Structures are given as structure tokens and as C-alpha cells.
Structure 1
Amino acid sequence: MRAWKEIRPQFLPAMITMFLLLQVLFLVNMCYLYATQFRSTARYHNLSVLYVDYDRDVIGKSVFDAYQGLQGDSFPTLRLASSTEYPQEDDIREAVCRGEYWGAVYANPGGSEGLASALATGYRAPTSLTYVWNGVRYPVFSQAGIYANLLRLVEATRSSYYSNNGSAVVASTDLSSPASLGVFLNPIQAKEINIKGTEHGTRVFYNTVSMVMPIIQQFFFMLALNGISTRFGAFTRLSWKANSLIRLIASILYTFTGSLLMTSYIWAYREDWRLSGSRFVLTWMILWLLMHINFLFFDITTAFIPIQFMSFVVLTWAIFNVASTISPFELNPEFFRWGYALPSHEAYQVLIQIWSGGCNNRLYQALPIMFSWWIIGIPIAVYAMQHRCKAAMSEQGASDRMRLERNSEARNIGRINEK
């Protein structure tokens, strides 16, 4: 009880303070994460979809009329473009591939004429519409926000076609023919072009849990490395240059191996998702860079921030990074677009490009940002090592002085007792 009374005045306030700070930490970070997705479906209008009318007849008009009925905050914005801007159908696919649009739909040339002929002859209705999207670009959100709404547009186009041309078809078509009636009941045929299909189950981890692992993995290794270095006196017995060299070699080997294993389990569970060996290597390299940036980040922060406060840094850094990758910024409030500066967001943009065969090219933005983190982090990490070694030397010097003082007191007490 005596010991408790002695430590209670300092122990209780410290414990209560940390109790409250950790509660606030988790509350603020989770509010930040939830805020990125708050009413995100009401921002689907920020996703642009290209529309080109090669038909220039009743089907082309029906698409536009259908969009007028669907237009709203929860539906992507249809951007009309002329056939002179996109003279070839492949030009539309390339526009989606480049990431200029989240999707595209176009009325095929001669679609209305082909449909009229099919109604008259009873032949199968031709493909009137083609829609394009990229399933590897934020798979969950692309499927919900683009693919599902493109299907809604196709269905609405059928209804719009009946409104625009139904009475004329009924008056001029022999609907007693089962073949002609079948064409009339399903007049709009659509074709899908998915630039990179991504249907396997593990796709939900790519921009969520997988973006947290490079952070947690580096922090755990940093804790172990600092503990081992302290235990064996590396900070006091070796120069800061030697410590920096050891840490550089260890970090390169650890992140090189960690990124290889991460790429391996992505590949192992990709099911029938077809990716070439060269994309394996490119994925490995971008994950290595991301992991090494995180290693440098924790190498710096653990040198200046006491270990009891590192939980604030680790959780906040992880939440900020995963919040920047979990969904497109078009679906977030504008404030959260500062996340363009975070390494995880840029790494995921490069991964999309790698996995989709060169689509969504953001290298002009992603690589400068990531290399800025890396290049700036290296000299700061060296300075942090100097600070770490100086602090260790100072702590050892203070410990030696205290030990000498205790020994001196013990000798004095011994002399007094002898007398």
C-alpha cells in the first residue's frame, strides 16, 4: 500500500489521460474514415460516362431521352461527344482506358435501320448499343456505380424507344408473327466491353486491407529492429554511419522479401484472373517502393516520438492511407482529396495501370509523389539515426553517472560503518 500511495499522484492522472486520448484517437480516425464514404452514392454524378451517337436515329435519341429520366445525383453524368471527336469505336474504348471517363456507351451505326429490318423480317435484332467500363478500376465501386447504372440506362432506353417509336412500329409491323413480336418485345440489344474483368472474391482486399498491411508490417519490424539494437547496444557501440548502413541493408532486404510475398499471395488467390509474369514483377516493384517508404516513415517517427505515443502515429497513418484508396475521390467530399499526396493512393493508381494492361495511366503523378517521399525520407532517416545514437549515448552517460554516484554512496556508507 505504501508503494501505491507513492505512485498514485502521478500514475492515475497519466493512466486517465492516456485512456481519454486513445478514445479520442479511435473516434477521430474512424469518423474520418466514415466521412469519406458518407452519402457517396449521392456523388455518382461526379463519375463521367461518355456517350457517342453513331446511329443518329431513333435509338440514338432514345438513349439521350432515357438519360434525361435517370439524370440525378445518384447517376453518372453522361457527356455527349460527336462522332468527329471519336471517329472510331476503338477511340471510345481508349478514352475509358486512359481514365478520361469511368465508362462509355455508344449507339452503333445503322442500329435503327437494322432494328427496322429485323422487325419487318423477323430476324434477330442487331446489337444497338455498346457500353464500356474497366472492372479493375476500384472494382466494387465500378460495378455499383458504373456497370449497374449502364444496365439501368440500357433498360431505360428500351422504354424510351417504345415511347418514341412504339406506335409507329405497331402500325407498320405484323406482330402476329412470333419472330417479329419477339424483336418488338426486346428491341434494344446491348454489348458489354469490360476492359479488364475483375470478378474474383479477393478483389475487395486490393484497395482496403492490402493497403494497410505494408504499413503494419513495417511498424512491427521497426519495433523489433529498435529493440534488438538497444539490447545489443548498437546505438552506443557503433557509429551512426554503421547503424545507418545496417538499417539500410536490413530495410531493403526486408521490404524486398515482404513485397515479394505480398505479390505472391495476391497471385495465388487471383482465381482465373489472367495476369502475365511481367505484371507480377511490376506489382512486386511498386509494392517494394511503397513498403520502403513506410519503413522510412517509421524509422523517422520512432526516433523522435516516444514509443508510448506511437499508437497515435500508426493508427492515424494507416487510416489516412487506406481512406485514400478505399474509393475514388470523385465519391468523397472535396476535402479528402488532399490524399493525392499519400503514397498508398499513388501506389494503388499504379497497380490499377499494371493490372489493366496500361489503362488509367497516372505515372506522371504517382511516381513523382512516391519518389518524393522516398528521396526526402532517406536523408531525414539518416539524421534520425544520428539523433537516435546521440540520445542513446546521452542516456548511457546519465546511467553511468548514476551508477558511479550509487557506488560512491555505497562506499561512503561502508566507510562510515567501518568507523
Structure 2
Amino acid sequence: MQFYPKGREQRLSIHHPSVRPRRLAVLRAAGVNLLLLQFLFLGLFCYIFGSLFQQSTHIHQVNVLFVDYDGGAIGEAVRDAYKKLEGPGFPTIIERSASDYPQPGSIEGAVCDINYWGALYTTANASNALTAAFAGGSAASNYNKNDVLTMVWNEARYPTVVDSALETTLKTLSQSARVVYSKVNGKQALQNLDTSDSTTMAIFYDPWTLASTNLQPTSQGSRLIYNTLVIILIMIQEFFYLGTVNGLYVQFKLYTSVRPHRMAIVRFIISAVYTLAGSLCTAGAIWAFRSGWQVNGNQFALSWAVLWLFAHLNFLVLDVFTVWLPPPYVPMALITWIITNITSILLPFELSPGFYKVGFALPAHAVFQVLIDIWSGGCNPQLYYALPVLFVYEILGAVLSSVGVYRRAHYASIKAESDEKACEERVAAAVLQQQEVQLVRQETLRDAEDSRSSNEEQETRDARPRRGTVTTIKDQEELVDIIRREMSRPTVESPEDRRSTTGPSFSLPFTE
């Protein structure tokens, strides 16, 4: 038994004259399409890598509020330490007077309103309390080193970046400020230091620890992919079902048998139900693996609604791609759409080159801003632009997708008319061919009967054309019925068809 015998049959040589032109055409088409895809992906790689390029040198664009409620040596130590650390790779400290923010709660409000990425403030009378603690006694035992220097931030706001760009740098500033304080005030502190008191000595070696006020702790491991894989999977999920819906409309020939406005309405409802279920699964998965994340049921419902809107507008936008772009360019448009959207939320715009601020107009950036606002209890007031961006995509997508239904119905009708005309031409050709066969048969019969008597020959000549005409008309009707029945019979994929498939293939941007 041979191994796939039909596949081992003799074929023409690659150098055969009939094969040579096809060989060159294949190489030419493969080369041109190779260049198109390479340029596309090279551009996408450069785009996404460019947004991350020299990220550390843009950290100075992250602004941090500093308020010195103490007005003493600790505040001076912070200022001196910042002068040494100041540079492109360190956040910009913007100092404001205590009268602008009369209490720490107002500082938290400024960070919540995203006026600043974070804040740092000294506690009132902290320097005097530290000096008194060096003398020992009750002042040392009552001293709280966590109530000296406090950082305010919101971890839910670009959580994967804030850890290094904000929290780590402010801890470095606090440690540097301790060194500066020891150098400037160390000698005076030693004069009053109670060396017999272990508590006092511990305070001297570690005068304060940076306290953290995190508006929305977001430390679960799954947070790392909220702004990457989650968004990518939502887009791919809509693209897959869009292909299913388009395939069903073509398979059941709805574009030539149903009114376009009804198809558009049903299509909108089907996509809304599908994205509703998909967004519920996405939000449910996030909540199932939140790992102690302090979010409630109201935030779950709002997250579900926003993800539903985002998923549905992506379904519509991708549908617009399939309507108005040539089929070879639809996969290219899909990957470009995904990469540009993901790039807009990988980093805050402060850490990327200015060019990438165009991402404000992309739905992924808008939906992520809304989600941050929901998850942090309103501490990201970007709804004034984020929600309009999402609804503009939704409305435009719905309009263009509906127009696309009419466009598909128009060209489907043209194709159906063309197919019907071609079918009629094939039927007419088959009928003509059958008539010619009948005439040949009649001539043969007449020649065979020439030897009979003249009377019988005359009767035969009078009768046979009539019988032949009737037979021909009957044969024509049967032939037309057979051909039309065969042409209208739906094509069903058989197991043999599935076994003979050569794998997935795409329409090519360039062919011979």
C-alpha cells in the first residue's frame, strides 16, 4: 500500500515550459507580498517601541506636589535632596504653600483630581518632635516615625508604571533626605542624644519612614495585563464573531432575499447580545481573580457596561473595515488597529514622546480612563472626553455598518443577476447543443429509411418533424429543469472536502 498514492503521481518538472511562467509569477507575487507585510510589521514594531523609547528620560514630566506643613529642618532636607536628584529621570517636584492646601485631605483631593501624579508632604511640627525625641524620655517613646513624611498616590492609575516611575523615586527621595538631614543636623543631635535609651538610638539611626496613602491599592498580579492582553482579546473576540456573522449572511443568501434595513437591525441586535455576554465574561474573570482588590458590586456593574460599549464599538469598527477595505487588507487593518490602541495605554502620555498623544482619540485609551475612574472611586475625572470618544465610535460605527449592509446587498444582487445570466447562457448553450444532436439523429433516421417506399417515405417525412419537434421541446424543458435544479442546489461540504483542504489562505494584496 502506497503512502498517499495520488500525491506521489508523476508531475511536470519545474523546468517544463508550461510550469516556468507560473513559477516566476509565484516568486514575484510571494516577494511583493513579503515586502508589504514586512514593511507593515516593521512600522508597527517601530511605532510601539518608539512609545517606550527612552522612557526613563521622560519621568521628569511626571509632576509631584510637595507641601511643607512642618516648615523646619525636615522640609529643608527634602528640598536639598531633590536638588541632588533632580533630572530627566526623576519626577518634577512642584512645591506649594500650606495655605493652598490647608490640610492633607485637600492634597489627596488634588491627586484624586489628577492635578498631580502624586504628592509628598511633611507633618506639622515634625522637626520639633524629632529633635525632642533625641533627648529621650516620653518624647522618644511617643515619637511616630511614620508620621513625618507622607506620599499620596493612586496605584490604579497605570499601575504597572507607577510603581517604578513614582513610588520608587519618592522612596529614594525620602532616603536621600534622611542622609541630608543627618549631615546637616547630626552634630547638634549628638549633643542632645540620650545614648542610654535604645529607643532614642533607633530614632537617631532611622529618623523617619516614608508613609504611603494609596487612594486605590491595586496589587493583584492580574493587573499587569489589564491594559494589554485584556484589550487585545476583546478585539480579537469581536473579529472572530464578525467573521461568523458575515459567513452566515452569505451562506443563507440573506443579502438577496431580505430587506437591508431588517438585516441591519438584526445584525445590530445580534452583535449587542454577543458583546453583552462577552463583556460579562471579561468583567467576571477580572473580578474572579481580583485577589483581595477592594472593589464592590456597583463598580462591577459599571465595568461591565463600559466593557460592553467598548466591545460593541470594536465590532462595528471592524465591520466597517470588512465593508470598505479590500479583503487582502482587512487582516492588516486588524493588526494595525490592535497595536495602535494598545500603544495608547501602555504608558502614560507623560512618559512617551509627544507624538503619541494622538492616542487620546483611540477607544482603548478612552475606555481605560473610564475604568480607572470606576475602579478608583472617581479619582480619574476624564469622563468629559473619554465617554464622548467611545460614543462617537459607536454612532459612526453603527451608521457606517448599516450603510455597509446596503452596499453588500447591492453588490450581492448584482452578482446574483450576473450568475443568473450566466446560468441562462449555459442553459441556452446546452439547449442549442441538444437541438443540434436531435437534428443529427433525425437526418440519420431519414437516410436509413430512404430505401422504403416513396409513400411511406413521404409519410415519415411529414410525421417525424412533428414528433421531433414535440420531443425536442420536451427534452428542452427537462434539460432546463435539470440544469436549474443543479445550479440552485446548495453546496454542502463533504468529509472528502474537509480532508482535501490545504489549510487557511488569504486574499493577496498583489497577484499576477
Answer yes or no: same fold by TM over 0.5.
yes
Q: Sequence identity of aligned pairs in percent? A: 36
The equivalent residue for 1:142 is 162
CA contact (8 A) 1:293 1:374 kept: yes
Which segment is superposed worse, 166-175 or 208-217? 166-175
- In 2, distance between residues paired with 1:49 and 1:414? 90
The equivalent residue for 1:67 is 82
The equivalent residue for 1:355 is 375
Q: Which amino acid aligns with 2:41?
A: F
CA RMSD of aligned residues (A): 1.7
CA contact (8 A) 2:134 2:192 kept: no
The equivalent residue for 2:474 is none
- In 1, distance between residues paired with 2:162 and 2:406? 48
- In 1, distance between residues paired with 2:98 and 2:37? 58
Q: Which amino acid aligns with 1:37?
A: L
Relative to 1, partners in 2 of residues 1:6 and 1:226: Cα closer, same or farther, differing over 3 Å?
A: farther
The equivalent residue for 1:93 is 108
After the TM superposition, list the runs of 4 or more consecutive aligned residues in structure 1 that deviate by more than 4 angstroms: 1-12
CA contact (8 A) 2:136 2:197 kept: no
Deviation string, structure 1 residues 16-60 (Cα, Å, up to 9, x no partner): 322221222222112211111111111110101110000000001
Give secondary structure in 2 for the equivalent of 1:50.
Answer: strand
Give secondary structure in 1 for the equivalent of 2:345.
Answer: coil
1:37 aligns with 2:56: no
The equivalent residue for 1:222 is 242
Relative to 1, partners in 2 of residues 1:3 and 1:403: Cα closer, same or farther, differing over 3 Å?
A: farther
- In 1, distance between residues paired with 2:316 and 2:62? 36
Deviation string, structure 1 residues 213-245 (Cα, Å, up to 9, x no partner): 221111111111101110110111111112101
* Structure 1 residue ranges without an equivalent (≥5): none
The equivalent residue for 1:409 is 429
Q: Which amino acid aligns with 1:74?
A: G
- State the shift of 1:303 in Å: 1.1
Q: Which amino acid aligns with 1:19?
A: L
**Structure number with bigger Rg:** 2
CA contact (8 A) 2:136 2:193 kept: no
Relative to 1, partners in 2 of residues 1:302 and 1:179: Cα closer, same or farther, differing over 3 Å?
A: same
The equivalent residue for 1:199 is 219
Corresponding pairs, count: 419
- In 2, distance between residues paired with 1:293 and 1:163? 60
- State the shift of 1:246 in Å: 1.3
CA contact (8 A) 2:151 2:211 kept: yes
1:165 aligns with 2:206: no
1:308 aligns with 2:323: no
Q: Which amino acid aligns with 1:410?
A: A
Q: Which amino acid aligns with 1:141?
A: V
The equivalent residue for 1:14 is 29
Relative to 1, partners in 2 of residues 1:220 and 1:4: Cα closer, same or farther, differing over 3 Å?
A: farther
- In 1, distance between residues paired with 2:80 and 2:166? 19
Which segment is superposed worse, 160-169 or 322-331? 160-169
* TM-score scaled by length of structure 2: 0.79
The equivalent residue for 2:72 is 57
* TM-score scaled by length of structure 1: 0.96
Q: Which amino acid aligns with 1:54?
A: Y
Equivalent residues in 2 for 1:361-372 (5 A)? 361-372=381-392
1:208 aligns with 2:228: yes
Give secondary structure in 2 for the equivalent of 1:394.
Answer: helix
The equivalent residue for 1:187 is 207
The equivalent residue for 2:494 is none
| 1:330 maps to which of 326, 346, 350 | 350
CA contact (8 A) 1:329 1:336 kept: yes
- State the shift of 1:10 in Å: 5.1
* Structure 2 residue ranges without an equivalent (≥5): 1-11, 441-512
Deviation string, structure 1 residues 157-201 (Cα, Å, up to 9, x no partner): 101101221121123323354332221111123311111111111
CA contact (8 A) 1:157 1:188 kept: no
The equivalent residue for 2:133 is 118
Give secondary structure in 2 for the equivalent of 1:189.
Answer: coil
Q: Which amino acid aligns with 2:206?
A: N
| 1:48 maps to which of 63, 78, 87 | 63
1:77 aligns with 2:97: no
Deviation string, structure 1 residues 117-141 (Cα, Å, up to 9, x no partner): 1111251543210111111111110
Deviation string, structure 1 residues 311-366 (Cα, Å, up to 9, x no partner): 11100000000110111111110001000000110000000011111101110110
- In 1, distance between residues paired with 2:411 and 2:20? 32
1:374 aligns with 2:394: yes
The equivalent residue for 2:275 is 255
- In 2, distance between residues paired with 1:231 and 1:36? 43
- In 1, distance between residues paired with 2:322 and 2:26? 24
The equivalent residue for 2:194 is 174
1:231 aligns with 2:251: yes
